[in-house]
Amino acid sequence: MIEPELFDGIKLLVNLPEHNLYSGMQGAIVECYSDKAYEV
């Protein structure tokens, strides 16, 4: 499996309405953390 890297583009595949995020929204990874968490 390929690991996501800084500035990779991403597209949300599921709705997360509790965070006002919906399927199809796009973003870019702006931070990669050591515990495999990412900030978009």
Q: How far apart are the first and last CA of the chain?
A: 20
| Cα–Cα distance, 7 to 18 (Å, whole number) | 25
Which residues partner with 39 through β-bridges? 31
pTM of the model: 0.73
Average pLDDT, integer, range 16-31:
97
* Residue 2, pLDDT above cutoff 90: no
Domain segments of the chain: what residues? 9-39
Nearest to 29 by CA among 14, 10, 13: 10
